Amino acid sequence: MSPDLALQTLRHSADLGQAPSLDAHVEALREFLGGQLESVESELPQALGQSIAPLVETGVHLIRAGGKRIRPILTLLSAGCVGVSGPEVRRLACAGELVHLASLLHDDVVDNADLRRGVDTPRIIWSNAASVLGGDYALTRALELVGSLAQREPLMEAVTTLRDLVEGEVIQLQHRGTGTLTIADYQAIIDRKTASLFRWCCRAGVWLSNETHYTAPLGEFGFSLGACFQIVDDVLDVTAAMEDSGKEPFTDLFDGKLTLPVLLALEALPEFRAPLITVFTALRANDPAAHEQAAAFIQAFVPALHNCGALERARAMAVDAAQTAVEALNAVPRSEHRDALETIAASLAQRMR
């Protein structure tokens, strides 16, 4: 797909709203990457190594539950843009997925989540402590994988990325269930919690090449793609039916998280913020009437959200981020791997409805 066609697809999907196509595109990428991604898939459980139970088992449990493997795909494709492949790139791809895995193990405890990818979360099977420690262990294994390479840049950047992830989580926790989150706070969270890891995945393998000057544009691509990824997920939290997203609409809101469409609606309709804070206060206090109050708030808020243009603005921001990602690739030589990265951005934007 040419850059012009990719951008045209992005704009068209934003205007019309299209059925989710990312899953189908990921399957096509699996075929394109062939044995490389299959090897990463088989190496992931081994990458966790051997240790005291259940440190390994918590991670293996989530690995076997599946997932799109977007982060390893980005590592393999970005490295492919500069002609790099092989076991060292696969090691980096596994490391990126292990960092993501660790964040899921931690998030499930913070969110009191019972299900992940349709199966019981490790915190339910083992315990909250086991899930947290399993996540910590996965992070150490990721750093060991990256540190085993001769190039030091991927490790140095991995440490910075982990710091970003922690900072993003803390910012989110500070505002969770308070109703005080602003759009600037939201941007700071997604920059650190999602976009930073996407950026690392797109830069890591390039350091193994003789063309390390391409780490900058590929990192910019990953960062903007990560922002798009999170915004699209936020839009789906509002619009998607249970069978499409795997969770009930407004799950994030009931968990005390204000996503972009909700924030944009509150900006346009400030009269809803005080009632929302009242609901959050009742939920935190375990007030028996809290869920009834929350349901009443949602019943009034949803039509207002749909009518105030918040969803359209969120979609436009996702498309802008995807367009920025595609444009960053202009500095990278044309190849099948670069074309594949471009179409990831296009298919991601098409998930919005």
3-state secondary structure of 120: strand
In the prediction, which pLDDT does 247 show?
55
**Cα–Cα distance measured from residue 60 to residue 347, given in angstroms and rounded to the nearest whole number:** 29
Cα–Cα nearest to 169, from 200, 197, 147: 197
**What CATH number labels 3-269+308-347?**
1.10.600.10
Give the pLDDT band (50/70/90) at residue 196.
Answer: very high
**Cα–Cα distance measured from residue 87 to residue 96, given in angstroms and rounded to the nearest whole number:** 14
Contact 226, 195 (CB under 8 A): yes
Q: What is the DSSP letter of 246?
A: S
CA angle 146, 36, 191 (to 5 degrees): 50
Residue 112: count of CB within 10 angstroms of its CB:
11
Taken as a whole, the chain contains a residue count of 353
Both tokens of 23, joined, read 């899953």
**Cα–Cα distance measured from residue 160 to residue 144, given in angstroms and rounded to the nearest whole number:** 15
**Cα–Cα distance measured from residue 304 to residue 300, given in angstroms and rounded to the nearest whole number:** 7
pLDDT > 80? residue 16: no
In the prediction, which pLDDT does 349 show?
75
**Cα–Cα distance measured from residue 107 to residue 99, given in angstroms and rounded to the nearest whole number:** 12
In the prediction, which pLDDT does 346 show?
85
**Cα–Cα distance measured from residue 238 to residue 125, given in angstroms and rounded to the nearest whole number:** 30
Q: What is the mean pLDDT of the chain?
A: 89
The residues spanned by each domain of the chain are: 3-269+308-347
**Cα–Cα distance measured from residue 328 to residue 319, given in angstroms and rounded to the nearest whole number:** 14
pTM for this entry: 0.91
* Beta-sheet pairing, 115-116 with 119-120: antiparallel
Contact 189, 168 (CB under 8 A): yes
Query: 136-141 long-range contacts, Cβ below 8 Å, gap at least 24?
Result: 136/102, 137/48, 137/51, 137/55, 137/56, 137/59, 138/48, 138/59, 138/98, 138/99, 138/101, 138/102, 138/105, 139/98, 139/99, 139/102, 141/47, 141/48, 141/49, 141/98
Q: What φ, ψ does residue 301 adopt, rounded to 5°?
A: -80, -40
Q: What is the pLDDT of residues 130-184, one digit of tens each?
A: 999 999 999 999 999 999 999 999 999 999 999 999 999 999 999 998 999 999 9
In the prediction, which pLDDT does 3 show?
41
Q: What φ, ψ does residue 116 adopt, rounded to 5°?
A: -145, 120
pLDDT > 90? residue 105: yes
Helix (H) or strand (E) holding 116: strand 115-116
17-24: average pLDDT: 55
